[in-house]
Chains A and B, each alone.
Chain A
C-alpha cells in the first residue's frame, strides 16, 4: 500500500488566519480524498481531488473555505481559510490505490484554532 506523509502533523492557529495542509504520496494515485474529523466524531468527507481538474466538494463544504490543489499524481494540499474555533479538527488525506479496491489514510493533521 501507499505511504502518505501529511504535514504539519499538528498546529495551533489564530482565528481569521489560514492553514495549508500538505499530503505527499510515495506513488502515483488516481484519487485523493480529504476528510475532517471533529472531536469525538466520525470522519466526514470534504472533497475528492482529481489531478488536472477542480476538486469535487461534498454537501456543506465549499471551495472558498477549503480550497484544494492537486498539481500532480503524488501531491495535494488542503487549505482551511479564515479559521474559526469550529474548524478545530483532525484533517486526513486518503488515497485510492487500485480503482478503489484499497484506501490508505495519512496520520492526519490536528488543528486547533484559538
Chain B
C-alpha cells in the first residue's frame, strides 16, 4: 500500500487560503489520491480526489505534482467551519472486481483562526 505523510497540525486565518500538503512518494500509476475531512464527532466527509490532473470542485482544489509523489489540498477561503482533521488517502485496489478500500493515515488537524 502506498503510504501518505501529512503534517500533524496547521493553522490558517479565516478568509485566507488553506494549503494542506501530502507526500505519497510510493504511489503507483493507477492509484488515486483522495481527501476526506472529519469534523469533530462526525463521520468523514469526502472532499475531492484525483489521479494525475489538478481537480477543482465547489469545496476545494487538488494540486498533484507531475511525478505524483505529493499533492496539496487548497481550501480557497477558509471559514471557521473548515476546522477539522483532513486525511490524504491513496486508494488501494483489493481485488480484480475493483472492490477498493480506503486506508486512513493520521491526518492533519487544521484549525481556522478568527
Binding site for B on A (CB under 8 A): 1, 4, 30-31, 33, 35, 42-45, 48, 50, 56, 92, 94, 96, 99-108, 110
Could you list some 16 contacts between A and B, CB below 8 A? A30-B99, A31-B99, A35-B104, A42-B104, A42-B107, A48-B99, A48-B101, A92-B43, A94-B102, A100-B99, A100-B100, A102-B46, A103-B34, A103-B46, A106-B43, A110-B41
Given A92-B43, A107-B42, does the pair A33, B101 have CB atoms closer than 8 Å?
A: yes
Choose one: B42, B49, B104; the contact of A44 (CB below 8 Å).
Answer: B104
Knowing that A100-B99, A103-B46 touch, tell me 17 more A-B residue pairs with CB under 8 angstroms: A33-B102, A42-B87, A42-B105, A43-B104, A44-B104, A45-B101, A48-B94, A92-B43, A94-B44, A94-B102, A100-B98, A100-B100, A101-B49, A103-B34, A103-B102, A105-B44, A107-B42
Kindly state the interface size class of chain B when it binds its partner. 20 to 34
The reply to whether the CB of B54 lies closer than 8 angstroms to some CB of chain A is: no
Q: How far is the CB of B92 from chain A (nearest CB, A)?
A: 10
A1 CA to B103 CA, complexed, in Å: 20
Interface contacts (Cβ under 8 Å), in number, total: 54
**Which residue of chain B has its CB nearest to the CB of A47?**
B101
The reply to whether the CB of B28 lies closer than 8 angstroms to some CB of chain A is: no
List B62-114 residues whose CB lies under 8 Å from chain A: 87, 91, 93-94, 98-107
The reply to whether the CB of B45 lies closer than 8 angstroms to some CB of chain A is: yes
A114 CA to B58 CA, complexed, in Å: 43
Question: Could you tell me if A105 and B91 are in contact, using CB atoms closer than 8 angstroms?
Answer: no
Choose one: B43, B98, B106; the contact of A105 (CB below 8 Å).
Answer: B43
Q: How far is the CB of A63 from chain B (nearest CB, A)?
A: 18
**Which residue of chain A has its CB nearest to the CB of B44?**
A105
A104 CA to B44 CA, complexed, in Å: 8
Q: How far is the CB of A53 from chain B (nearest CB, A)?
A: 11
Chain B residue numbers with a CB within 8 Å of A96 are 99-100
